[in-house]
Amino acid sequence: MPAASSKWDWEINNKTTFWSHSAQELWAYRHLLAGLVKRYFLLHYNQTVLGPLWILFQPILTLVTYVLVFNKLVGISTGGLPPVVFYASGIVLWNFFSDGFTGTSNTFRENIQLFSKVYFPRIIMPLSVVSTQFLRFLLQLVMFLGVLVYYSVVVGFDFGVTWNIVWLPLAVALIGLFALGLGLLFSVLTAKYRDITNLVTLGVRLLMFVTPVIYPVETIPEKLRWIVQLNPLTSLFELFRLSLLGQGVVTPLQLLYSFTVTGLVLLGALLFFNKQGDRLIDVV
């Protein structure tokens, strides 16, 4: 009888490459990705009093704090927007970025036992983290849209929403991809050098102050504005506000800069993650 043909979809070996997984292999693990997203989403709120309501309760508490401290006490201008609306937009978007980045940066440290026992594409784990944070973002975005409706209908504030709303998906997608790229990069670094975890925590806190979360870019003096605009998140936050609130300072050149930096960070981090992933199993 003729020998059976040796065909397989992919091969598992001890070699590492910069591009470890094909699209076919990743698609085969789509159910694992969905299961991990469900697990993370439910596990995070298991045995809590408020349960999933924490998704909304946390930004509300943060919003109250920002309004009292930065608006009432410090007196930071929010441009022509109501303080509640301005801070809520920054909080919702910043939570998506910071939680996605910090969660992804702990990929190897939190899943090393699973990685060492079961094979699956390592990239599935960080993708599940960012996907979970995206679901949280959507729920918080619905709450934010409710705030906009209140100010539009009850207060009578005109946000001047125009065709710029079409830029909303782009702003959100680039922020999510930037968080994923940075997270992939630091997941390898934190696995090799534990003290970098402290740097990640500190860096996220400092990065918020050079991102227009608590202030609009237009309130920064012209001679200092370039410092904030070096941050690729700046134009994305401004684009998000422009699309929903009708106010934001962003130019095509700044948007191209953010798009380029995000693409380079994501591509470089993905190649680095794939190349170093299997080698870290014996290091962590």
Q: Is the pLDDT of residue 6 over 80?
A: no
By residue count, the chain amounts to 284
- What six digits make up the tokens of 256? 């191209």
pLDDT band, very low/low/confident/very high, at 8 (cuts 50, 70, 90): low
Model confidence over 202-254: pLDDT tens digits?
899 999 999 999 999 988 888 888 899 999 999 999 999 999 988 888 999 99
Average pLDDT, integer, range 121-133 = 88
CA-atom Rg of the chain in angstroms:
21
Model confidence over 69-85: pLDDT tens digits?
998 888 888 888 899 99
The residues, any chain, with a CB within 8 Å of residue 68's CB and separated by 6 or more, are none
Question: What would the 3-class secondary structure string for 182-248 be?
Answer: HHHHHHHHHHHCCCHHHHHHHHHHHHHHCCCCCCCHHHCCHHHHHHHHCCHHHHHHHHHHHHHHCCC
What is the pTM assigned to this prediction?
A: 0.86
Model confidence over 255-277: pLDDT tens digits?
999 999 999 999 999 988 887 76
